[in-house]
Amino acid sequence: MTEEIIIAGFGGQGVLSMGKILAYSGVMQDKEVTWFPSYGPEMRGGTANVTVIVSDDRISSPILNEYDTAIILNQQSMDKFEKTVKPGGVLLYDPNGITRHPSRKDINIYKVEGVEEAAKMGNVKIFNMIILGAYLKLKPIVKIENVKKGLEKSLPERHHKLIPLNIQAIEKGMEIVNKAS
């Protein structure tokens, strides 16, 4: 099994940390993992993306032309990454702020109302965990108990009290993801 994922959105949406939690969950499940961020003079409000690769085998390039899954969280990223999904692959997106919806017919497109749901749950910061939940529903590459361990490993101790809320958000994401028509 090798799963190559791009997660792309605005800086400040938790794109990089969502990738890190997914990668750490992979480590906990005894997988090989690579987390490769776009780094640069980006800041809150700018674009941010990260490539995460989870595999049973040694991982080759962290730089990829195409992905098994693209998780897209803003319009700029949609414009840039819709075309990079492998035929038959998965595109997961939050329609919030999207003006041109994905149109490819050779990939599987799913929607998750992460921004809306996070607001309903009363904490915008758990947005990225709702998205992660939606992804894990579509591609259960790591077990939820290993995601819990991944959260413990990647969050500083002082934030550990928030882990139950994060898990709740992941479960919510799993519940509300649906196929775009």
- Comparing CB distances to other proteins, the nearer of 3 and 94 is 3
- Comparing CB distances to other proteins, the nearer of 27 and 144 is 27
User: What are the backbone angles phi and psi of residue 66, rounded to the nearest 5°?
Assistant: -145, 160
Taking the complex as a whole, how short is the minimal distance between the CB of residue 36 and other proteins, in angstroms?
A: 5
- Comparing CB distances to other proteins, the nearer of 1 and 122 is 1
Taking the complex as a whole, how short is the minimal distance between the CB of residue 68 and other proteins, in angstroms?
A: 14
CA distance 134 to 137: 5
Taking the complex as a whole, how short is the minimal distance between the CB of residue 35 and other proteins, in angstroms?
A: 4
Contact status, residue 115 vs residue 157, Cβ threshold 8 Å: no
User: What are the backbone angles phi and psi of residue 94, rounded to the nearest 5°?
Assistant: -100, 120
Taking the complex as a whole, how short is the minimal distance between the CB of residue 40 and other proteins, in angstroms?
A: 6
- Comparing CB distances to other proteins, the nearer of 62 and 140 is 62
Distances (CA, A) of 88 to 24, 71, 91, 105, 134: 26, 15, 10, 9, 18
Strands 47-55 and 32-37: antiparallel
- Comparing CB distances to other proteins, the nearer of 59 and 107 is 59
Contact status, residue 70 vs residue 89, Cβ threshold 8 Å: yes
The H or E element containing residue 111 is: strand 108-111
Taking the complex as a whole, how short is the minimal distance between the CB of residue 34 and other proteins, in angstroms?
A: 5
- Interacting residue ranges for other proteins, rule: CB under 8 A: 20, 23-24, 26-27, 31-37, 39-41, 59-65, 153-154
